[in-house]
Structure 1
Amino acid sequence: MPPILRALESRNYRIYFAGQLISLAGTWMQQVAMVWLAYRLTGSALVLGVVGFASQIPILVFSAIGGVITDRFDKRRLLLATQALSMVQALGLAALASQGSATPAHLIALAFGLGLINALDVPTRQAIAVQLVDNKADLPNAIALNSFLMNAARFVGPSLAGFVVALAGEAVCFLLNGLSYLAVLLALLAIRLPAGEARKPPAPPLQALREGLAYAAGQAEIRASLLLVATTSFLAAPYVVLMPLFAREIFGGDARLYGLLLGCSGAGSLLGSAYLASRQDTTGLTRKVALAAPAVGVCVALFALSPALWMAVPVLLALGLTIIVTVAGSNTLIQTRVDNAFRGRVMALFTMAFLGVAPLGSFVVGSLAHAAGVRPTLVLCGLLTVAAGLAYRRRTAD
């Protein structure tokens, strides 16, 4: 394998990667089709917000418990269970949509159910990565390839969803997503993990949760990375929520321009993922993250102040790149430093910091933008992100 793909030399990771390649495209298809169906049924932006909130808030509330479960049980079997439940959820959506009986209440309930599943599934998928590579030195590459895969699916999935919805309706998107989980289930059944290390009997759940929190708080480098990811997710990531306003009201475009702007940040994310995958090890990665983190804030502020599209496009490219280097780079640093006994609980905290905090940030930033205006709000978010990045740089330099 070329160096950028060296993690694929491991049989288990190669099989798992192939299964994810198919399933993630289906996941993005379902997300787009679900939002479109909710809007078609109600025409309400409020319902769209509630559906998105319902799918993400369980990650913030329950991921810590999911991390405790991840550390107590076999990770492959947990993933078999969560992926099977996700498939049932997708097929249930397909059945409701095909019969024309889907209601906003159904969509909100199913979105919340999927969020509950993801509260266990996401930290487990993060924690199992170290078991899938034969050479532990390839772990940073595996994490970067996972990030690359996710961002590539962001391109393919929505495009396929738009075509399928226009041609055959939302139900077909949900059905295809449900069937795509078969690829992951077959991959999980095919991989052969080495016997785990002998572990002492697990502590009671609440004690295990407290121990995990104490461990993360007591490790200065892990604590700094988690705080950086949380602040980036809260302050910088919500720029995506405000993107339609820029596309239509500021730049005078339509849905095609909105897609272009999203595509620019997505292209930057792919470049950032490719850069991380090309690195041979984690030497100097802390310094790169410390440079990228304040750069995220600079890019957010520059995007807010962009006078025209010609400036916004390269800024969004840089913004997508710096966010991925910050978040995925922090993930890599945490994964290479965490004790295996606490891996599931710490990766649950990472999931909460990255995905769980996002809906809170979107709500706060969206409310502030409504009251004070889009440009001033994003400039403020950018400056606060710069401050958070500089604080991380100071902590890690000590």
Structure 2
Amino acid sequence: MLILPTEDRRLEPYRLTGEPLVPRAPRVPLTRTAFAAAHVVSDPIAERNPWDTRPAIDWEATLAFRQGLWDQGLGLAEAMDTAQRGMGVDWATAKELIERTMVAARAHPLRPRVACGAGTDHVALEDLRDAAAIRAAYEEQMAAIEAAGGQLIVMASRAFPAIGAGAETYLEVYGQLLEQAAQPVILHWLGDMFDPALKGYWGSTDVAQASDTVLDLIEAHAGKVDGIKISLLDQAHEEAFRARLPEGVRLYTGDDFNYAALIEGDGHHHSHALLGIFAAIAPAAAQALEALAEGDSASYHALLAPTVPLSREIFRAPTRFYKAGITFLAWLNGAQSHFIMPAGFQSSRDITHYASIYRLADAARLLQEPELAEKRMRLLLEMHGIEQG
């Protein structure tokens, strides 16, 4: 039993009660494409000047975490914002991550799908002053990902809002990038709750107008677009948007609040998944998708419903700090030996937040080694001055 803090500054006893889900491969082919966006594991002993230099990565632990996702039938979204792109992880590190991951994916018996984030973050914003410079930056990263064998995710770039780009600039640059891609790509619409620098993406702060712009882009290049990931945390918008997509273009939900209903669908349309939370709830996510493929809606919801409060806590405002909760659960579950993140990002959340995650992960049956989780939570609490007796 532990003594956990609450949001109103009380201390309450808590004893683990959940029966952990056992990670396993799916029994049947899944009917939804599901990419889990994974974090990176730091090497704290090798780290030097963490705020000012490239992060030191524990490659063995980082790749082992991905193997665990693949073993459960999930695909991987690599080098995305969950991996702290632009928030502690630079392009040079991301490129090495992509290259190492693609080697491991080719050797995996399930031959998992891996889609990788291409952006412009290797070039300083002040040097991305026009459409040509932005396009060239994207092209460099896209070429590196295609050379490694990964599918492209054209990530949202801070460069467009920084120059006040209008819709015509987005259509021009993205259109040229899509036509150059060797295979259909996944577009990426990340709301400003995930990154404030992306406010006004697609040339407008009006979501309806921005939606029209990106739909025009997709319709003009439908054969080059696998799908679009939308992370706006707005279920009604996503449902309306996906109904307007050309046939064969997928909607990959990035809605970490409403994923259960969106993935199940409304009887006419459904979303696929490209979610950071799926890396944290992998056993529940994979087994729920298996149940959905078997036509067992009741089991699907029974598995996913307890994960929704957990996800809403992890992704609560300020949402951009959600990576800390993902890494925290990986530490509790023994996927890494420490709770240190690139650029010291673990300090972005407070101890009451981590205590809430601990309770909610237990309720969702996602603490796979309860004794280890309790031991590590105890250590964190005592480091925060909460004596356990």
Is the structural similarity TM-score above 0.5? no
Between Structure 1 and Structure 2, which shows a larger proportion of strand residues? 2
TM-score normalised per structure 1: 0.28
Q: Which has the higher contact order (CA 8 A, sep 6+)?
A: 1
TM-score normalised per structure 2: 0.29
